[in-house]
A and B are shown apart, each in its own frame.
Chain A
Amino acid sequence: MIQLKVNGESRSFEGDPQMPLLWYLRDKLELTGTKFGCGMALCGACTVHLNGRAVRSCSTPMSSVADKEIVTIEAISQNGLHPVQQKWIEFNVPQCGYCQTGQIMQAIALLKQKPKPTDQDIETGMAGNICRCGTYQRIRAAIKAAAGVTA
C-alpha cells in the first residue's frame, strides 16, 4: 500500500505500483484538471507539483510517490485565483485550453525558482510544455506580467 497526500488530503493506493500518477489522479480521484497528452513526458499537459517541484505525472509511477505531497491544478490556490491564473485570464492565453493547466503548473514552479525570469529562463523553463494551438507568446507575456517583469 502506498500512502501519499494529494491536495492536502491523505490517500492510500493499493493498485499496480507501476501505474502512473496521472491515471490515479484522473481515473481514481477524478481530478481531471491534470491532462493526458502523450504518456511519455514529452508534452507537459500532465504537470503536477510533487513536493513543490513540477513533474510529469504521466511518467511518474505510483511507487515513486510514496509519502510525497502532490498538488494539482485543482488546489494550486487556496483562495481565489493564483496570480499566474489571473494573468492567464488577463492575457487571454488559452485557445482550446487543454494544455493550459499543465502550462500554469509549470509556470508557477518556474517562478518559484526564477522570480524574475528572462526570456531565456522562460524558454528553458517552459520547453517541456507543448501548446498545439500555439499560445506561446501569450504564455510568455503572462509569465512576465505575473513576475512583474516588463515585456
Chain B
Amino acid sequence: MNSSITNVSRRGFIKGLVSSGALVLSVQLLPETLWADKGGTAVEAIPGSRVDAAALHPTAFVGIDGDGTVWIIAGRSEMGTTSRTSVPLILAEELDADWTKVKIEQAVGDAKYGDQDTDGSHSVRSFYDVMRESGATARLMLLRAAAQQWGVPESECTSDLHMIVHKKTNRRAGYGELAAKAAKQPVPKKEELKFKPKSARRYVGKGAKSYDLNEIVTGKAGYGMDVHMPAMLFASVEHPPVLGGKVKSYDEKAPLQVAGVKQTIPIQPFKPPHHFQPLGGVAVIADNTWAAFEGRKKLNVSWENGPHGEYNSEQYKKQLQETARKTGKVARNIGDVDAEFAKGGKVIEAEYYVPHLSHAQMEPPVALADYRDGKVEVWAPSQSPQGAQETIGQVLGIPKENVLVHVPLLGGGFGRKSKPDFAAEAALLSKATGKPVKVVWSREDDIHFGFYHAVAAMYMKASVDGKGKPTAWLQRSVFPSIDSTFANDVHYGSAGELGLGWTDLPFDLPNHRVENGQADHHVRIGWFRSVANIYHAFAAHSFADELAHNAGRDPVEYLLDLLGPARIVDVKASAPEYDNYGTPPADYPLDTARMRRVVEIAAEKSGWGKKKLGKGAGMGIAVHRSFLTYVASVVEVEVDDKGEVKIPAVHTALDAGLVVNPEATRSQFEGAAVMGASLVRTGSITAKDGAIEQSNFHDYPVARMKDAPYHTSVYIVDSEAPPAGVGEPGLPPFAPAMCNAIFQATGKRVRELPLANTSLTA
C-alpha cells in the first residue's frame, strides 16, 4: 500500500467536526485493488472538501480539540460487528490517546473516506495501516510541538496517555493544550513514524466495548428506523411480486379513505439489469407509518409479471441438480481426475443443496430523504453510503455529489443493506412530494423483496485409495450469480464467487478439478454474510466427513490427513482467476499449518474423541478459511426420538491474524453459530410463479433462544499476522459441522438444507 499524509487543518473541511485551529489530519491510502475496482479513474471530491485526485483512496481522519477531545471518524457502517469502535481504536492506540476522551463521528458517504462498503469482513484489514499511520502522525506532531515549546530535543520526549512528557525536567503537556501548536508542524514523512511495540499496546488486542453500548440499552441509539424530521411524510411501497413486474392498474382513490393517507405515487419499473434500482410499484404516502401500511391494502394493484413469473423453486432445483451432474466450466485443475476415475477404483459421489436465504436483519429496510432544489439529503442505514450516492444520483438524474448520505446505526445488515434500493425510493418520493419522506419496509416487504442468498446445487465425486484418501476429487457448483445484479446475460458464477470456498479448497489432492455450471437468476441475488462460502463449505466439508466415515476413520484424523502437510497452497497456480479476497498471497498466504492448528485446537477444546456422548448425541467438525481467516468448529448435537435437535455446545477456534477487539470477535463467532443454526434448521426461501412464498418470522423462522447453541466457546489464536476478517468467517463451517454431528448421532446424512426437509427418525 502507498500512503501519504497531508496537514489540511487550515482548509477547514469537515465542517462542524472539530473546532477551528484544531489539528486535523487526513490520510490517503492507495491500495492497488481500489484503483482496479474503480476502473482506474479518480473520484471527484465534493464541493467544500479538499480537491485531490487521490481522494479516490481510503482516508481516515483524526481531529484534536483544544479541550483535549479527540475526534475520530468512523468511515465504515456499524451493523453490529463493532467496527465503529474497533477501527477508531487502532488510531487511538498509535495516538496514545485516552479512549475516554475519544468521540466518534460517523462519516457521511464520501469517496475521500475511501472504501466505505461495509462488507467482505475487511474493515480492520483494510484500515489497520491507515489508522495506525494517522494516529502515529498526530502523536509525532504533538510531540514535536511540545519539544519545541520546551526547547528540548524531540528524542527526549515521549507520550503517555493523552500527554507529552519530558521526564528529565518533569514537564507534561496535554494533547488539548498542544493541539493548536501541533497544527503548525509540518506533517512528518511516513518513514519518520514510530509505532508501538506489542508490549506497549493499551487497546489493540485488548479491545473496548461498543462506543454505542450505553445508548443501545437505554433506547437512545439512533437507527435508520428512528430518524425523524419535522413535517416528514411516511411512505410504504407496494412492489411488484415478481422481479421485473409492472403495474397494469391500481385504485388511486381507495387508499385516501384511510385517515392520514395523503396520496399515491407510482414508481417506475427498472430497466434491466436491476442493479440497486427501486423495484417499481406504487407508494402510499401518509402522515404516519401505520396509515401508509393500511392505505396499501386498498391499492388493489393488477400486475404484469413478465418472464420471471415462470420461476418455481421445485422445478428450478431439479434443473440445478441436473446441471450439476454434467461437466461444467473448469475453474481449477490439478492433474487429471478423469484418468484417475477411469482406473476403476472405489468411487464415492454425493450431491448437496442449499436453498435461497433471506437476511431478515431485525431492522427492515428504511430511509429518510429530503430533496430540495436538485440536491438530496438522505439518512439511510446503509452498508454502502457511496453506493447509495451513486444509485440515488442515477435514479434522480442528479450528480452523486448532490446526494448527501448520513449513516445512522444499522439494525443488522448481513449484506442486505449493501443494496440501497430502499434509500433510492425515499429520494424519489421526496422529490415527488416536495417534502421529507421516510420509506418504511414492512417485514413482509423485507422477506418478499430481498436480494437473496443464491440457491445452489453441488455435485462431488472422489476416488479413494485403500486408506480412503482421495486419489481424485471433482467438485461442481451451480448457482445464479450475483453478477446478474449488474449485467444482463450472466449465466455462470463469477471467479469471485468461486473463490469463496470452492477454488481455494486447500486439501492435499493429487488430482483435483473444480467446476461451475450454468444457472440463470429469477430473483435478485445478493451478498449474504459469507456469501458463496455457505454452500461451498457445506458441500466440501460434508463430503470430507462422508469420506472419513466411508473409510472408517476418525473425522478429525481424516481431516488433518486431507489437509496434508503444513504448506503454503498456491491456489492461483491451478486456478488462474483466484483473487484471494483481493489481497496479495504474499501478505495473506493460504497456509495449511494455520488450518491444521485451528482443527487441533477445536478438537482438543471440545473433548473430541474423549468426551462420553449419550444416546442420540454426536459431534461434527469442519474447517474453512474465508475472508482470510481460518476457522474450525466442532458442533455437538443431541437428537431425540422425535428427531428434534438440540445444540448443547459449539467449540470454535479461529486464526484471524492480529485481532484488535477479542471480545467483539467472540461475539461475532457466537452470533455466526446462531445464524448457522438458523440456516441449517429452517432457512429456506422459495418462489412460486415468480413470487416469494415466505413473508414473516412464522414461515421464515430464524433461531430463537431454544434453537440456538446453548453455548459457543470461541478460541482465538494469538497472532501478529496481518489482520483478517471476523464478521463472516464463523458462518461457513457451522452448517457442515452441525450436519456431520447429526450423522454421527443418527446415521442420517443431511445433504439438503434446511434440516426441516430431512426426517431424522426411523
- The chain A residues found within 8 Å of chain B, CB to CB, are 15-16, 19-20, 23, 26-28, 30-40, 42-43, 45, 72-74, 81, 85, 88-89, 92-101, 104, 122-123, 126-127, 129-140
By a CB distance below 8 angstroms, the chain B residues around A27 are 234, 288-290
By a CB distance below 8 angstroms, the chain B residues around A28 are 288
- Shortest beta-carbon contacts, A-B, top 5: A33-B219, A134-B674, A98-B411, A96-B80, A95-B80
Find residues 338-374 in chain B having any chain A CB closer than 8 Å to their own CB: 360-364
By a CB distance below 8 angstroms, the chain B residues around A139 are 705
By a CB distance below 8 angstroms, the chain A residues around B361 are 96, 98, 132
Min distance, Cβ B232 to any Cβ of chain A, angstroms: 10
Min distance, Cβ A135 to any Cβ of chain B, angstroms: 7
Residue of A nearest to B361 (CB): A132
| Complex CA–CA separation, A42 to B259 (angstroms) | 27
User: Is the CB of B675 closer than 8 A to any CB of chain A?
Assistant: yes
A138 touches B667 (CB 8 A): yes
Q: Among B5-13, B476-484, B607-615, B694-702, which stretch is in contact with chain A?
A: B694-702
A98 touches B223 (CB 8 A): yes
User: Is the CB of B592 closer than 8 A to any CB of chain A?
Assistant: no
Min distance, Cβ A4 to any Cβ of chain B, angstroms: 17
Looking at the complex, which one of B213, B363, B696 makes contact with A98 (CB distance below 8 Å)? B363
Looking at the complex, which one of A30, A33, A38, A95 makes contact with B697 (CB distance below 8 Å)? A38
Other A-B pairs beyond A32-B219, A96-B410, A134-B674, 16, CB < 8 Å:
A30-B228, A36-B289, A72-B219, A81-B217, A88-B217, A89-B217, A95-B80, A96-B409, A97-B210, A97-B213, A122-B705, A123-B706, A127-B704, A129-B705, A131-B362, A132-B675
- The chain B residues found within 8 Å of chain A, CB to CB, are 78-82, 209-210, 212-214, 216-223, 225-226, 228, 234, 258-260, 288-291, 293-294, 360-364, 409-414, 440, 442-444, 663-664, 667-668, 670-675, 696-698, 702-706, 708-712
B708 touches A42 (CB 8 A): no
| Complex CA–CA separation, A100 to B411 (angstroms) | 10
B442 touches A39 (CB 8 A): yes
A89 touches B209 (CB 8 A): yes
A-B contact pairs, 25 of them (CB 8 A): A26-B226, A30-B228, A35-B362, A37-B443, A40-B443, A40-B697, A73-B218, A74-B220, A81-B214, A85-B218, A89-B214, A92-B213, A96-B361, A96-B409, A97-B80, A99-B362, A100-B216, A101-B219, A104-B217, A130-B697, A131-B674, A132-B414, A134-B670, A134-B703, A136-B703
| Complex CA–CA separation, A133 to B79 (angstroms) | 10
| Complex CA–CA separation, A100 to B219 (angstroms) | 9
| Complex CA–CA separation, A92 to B667 (angstroms) | 8
Residue of B nearest to A85 (CB): B217
By a CB distance below 8 angstroms, the chain B residues around A98 are 223, 225, 361-363, 409, 411-412
| Complex CA–CA separation, A93 to B664 (angstroms) | 10
By a CB distance below 8 angstroms, the chain B residues around A38 are 443, 696-697
Looking at the complex, which one of A72, A94, A129, A136 makes contact with B213 (CB distance below 8 Å)? A94
B674 touches A42 (CB 8 A): no
Given the known interface contacts A95-B81, A98-B411, A134-B671, the answer about A43 and B362 at a Cβ–Cβ threshold of 8 Å is: yes
B671 touches A16 (CB 8 A): no
| Complex CA–CA separation, A97 to B411 (angstroms) | 7
Min distance, Cβ A92 to any Cβ of chain B, angstroms: 6
B443 touches A39 (CB 8 A): yes
Residue of A nearest to B443 (CB): A38
By a CB distance below 8 angstroms, the chain A residues around B710 are 137
Min distance, Cβ B535 to any Cβ of chain A, angstroms: 20
Looking at the complex, which one of B225, B364, B409, B697 makes contact with A42 (CB distance below 8 Å)? B697
A95 touches B671 (CB 8 A): yes
| Complex CA–CA separation, A89 to B214 (angstroms) | 7
A134 touches B708 (CB 8 A): yes
Residue of B nearest to A99 (CB): B362
By a CB distance below 8 angstroms, the chain B residues around A104 are 217
Given the known interface contacts A20-B290, A28-B288, the answer about A97 and B221 at a Cβ–Cβ threshold of 8 Å is: yes
